[in-house]
């Protein structure tokens, strides 16, 4: 199987490149191809891959609020360019989307057919991309995930660990609930979905749910740090982009492919071990 990964130098892309074995991989970062350019995208898949993984995106959620045009150029129009080129090459596609396509007003896990109601520019770009790429390639696999963390880049655990090394106390919001997702586990899911010929919409996260406060406390405790983590509310940390208060994604769609994912607590332990091995 020939696989082309757009976004291969990002947090998830790096994990995909490390985890994927036994197939012919082509990894493309932003320096290799600008997905906003139809010509560059077409030229990058002249080898006619069997699968295209679209993990390239402008993921700075707050930055998207002040760079709306750039966000839509990359996350929507760029996605359209990739999917159109993939369709012309008869390639299958997995497109990485987000829990931010939902408004966060539910109190039970979001299903794949729940209505889209993004509250941020980032969520709007991803929701618009979902709609447009389905028109081009109806059998596309749209993979929504959330709270992604992993080694090799900026993520929530890295931020908490850095702050905890210099502060005795940390205030973390306790009124936003979601599902942390480890890049290694997400990469393994993507590999299996390709091999199972996945299509349609799939929600993929580590199992379990928590608030950012719960997550931060587990990070600090697992790292055996003395920092006190204290719960606070979102109105104490006003940010440019509105975050969904509740964005837990239902695992039902993933279970249909007979895929079982470890808990986020288990994933965190493996992340800390991986991070420690790299720093050591």
Does the residue 221 lie in any domain?
no
Does the residue 237 lie in any domain?
no
Environment class of residue 117 by beta-carbon count within 10 Å: exposed (0-12), middle (13-18) or buried (19+)? middle
Tell me the average pLDDT across 75-91: 98
Whether residue 126 contacts residue 75, with contact meaning beta carbons closer than 8 Å, is answered with yes
Write down the mean pLDDT value for the chain: 97
What pTM value is reported for the model?
0.97
What is the extent of the structural domain holding 22? 2-153+180-207+250-262
Does the residue 222 lie in any domain?
no
Which pLDDT belongs to residue 52? 98
Does the residue 161 lie in any domain?
no
Does the residue 167 lie in any domain?
no
Environment class of residue 202 by beta-carbon count within 10 Å: exposed (0-12), middle (13-18) or buried (19+)? buried
Whole-angstrom distance between the N-terminal and C-terminal Cα of the chain?
A: 36
Which pLDDT belongs to residue 278? 82
Does the residue 131 lie in any domain?
yes
Q: What percent of the chain has pLDDT over 70?
A: 99
Residue 237 has pLDDT above 90, yes or no: no
Residue 225 has pLDDT above 90, yes or no: yes
Q: In 3D, which of 5, 16, 17, 77 has the Cα closest to residue 45?
A: 5
| Buried/exposed 118-157: b ≥16 CB within 10 Å, e otherwise | bbbbbbbbbbbbbeebbebbeebbbbbbbbbbbbbeebbb
Tell me the average pLDDT across 34-40: 98
Which pLDDT belongs to residue 238? 85
d(CA 235, CA 170) in angstroms, rounded, equals 16
Tell me the average pLDDT across 174-201: 98
The CATH number of the domain holding residue 138 is: 3.40.50.720
Q: Give tens-digit pLDDT for 120-132.
A: 999 999 999 999 9
Read off the pLDDT band of 196 (50, 70, 90).
very high
Instruction: Give me 44's structure tokens.
Output: 């990058």
Q: Which positions are catalytic?
A: 122
Does the residue 244 lie in any domain?
no
Does the residue 166 lie in any domain?
no
Q: Give tens-digit pLDDT for 238-273.
A: 899 999 999 999 999 999 999 999 999 999 999 999
Whether residue 170 contacts residue 239, with contact meaning beta carbons closer than 8 Å, is answered with no
Counted domains in the chain: 1
Residue 280 has pLDDT above 70, yes or no: no
2-6 sheet: strands from edge to edge: 24-28, 2-6, 51-54, 92-98, 141-145, 200-203
């Amino acid at each position: 199987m020939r696989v082309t990964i757009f976004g291969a130098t990002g947090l998830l892309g790096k994990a995909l490149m490390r985890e994927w074995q036994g197939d012919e991989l082509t990894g493309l970062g932003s320096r290799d191809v600008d997905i906003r350019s139809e010509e560059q995208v077409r030229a990058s898949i002249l080898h006619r891959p069997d699968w295209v993984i679209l993990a390239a995106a402008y993921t700075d959620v707050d930055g998207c609020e002040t760079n709306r045009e750039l966000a839509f150029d990359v996350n929507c129009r760029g996605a359209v360019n990739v999917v159109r080129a993939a369709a012309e090459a008869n390639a299958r596609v997995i497109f990485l989307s987000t829990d931010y396509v939902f408004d966060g007003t539910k109190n039970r896990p979001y299903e794949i057919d729940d209505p889209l109601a993004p509250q941020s520019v980032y969520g709007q770009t991803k929701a618009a991309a979902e709609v447009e790429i389905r028109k081009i390639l109806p059998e596309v696999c749209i993979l929504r995930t959330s709270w992604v963390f992993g080694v090799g880049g900026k993520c929530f655990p890295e931020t908490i660990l850095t702050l905890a090394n210099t502060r005795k106390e940390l205030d973390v919001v306790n009124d936003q609930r979601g599902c942390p997702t480890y890049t290694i586990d997400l990469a393994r899911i993507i590999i299996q979905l390709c091999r199972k010929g996945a299509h349609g919409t799939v929600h993929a996260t580590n199992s379990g749910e928590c608030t950012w406060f719960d997550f931060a406390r587990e990070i600090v405790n697992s790292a055996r740090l003395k920092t006190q983590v204290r719960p606070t509310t979102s109105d104490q940390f006003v940010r440019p982009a509105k975050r969904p208060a509740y964005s837990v994604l239902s695992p039902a769609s993933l279970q249909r492919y007979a895929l079982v994912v470890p808990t986020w607590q288990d994933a965190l332990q493996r992340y800390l071990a991986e991070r420690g091995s790299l720093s050591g």
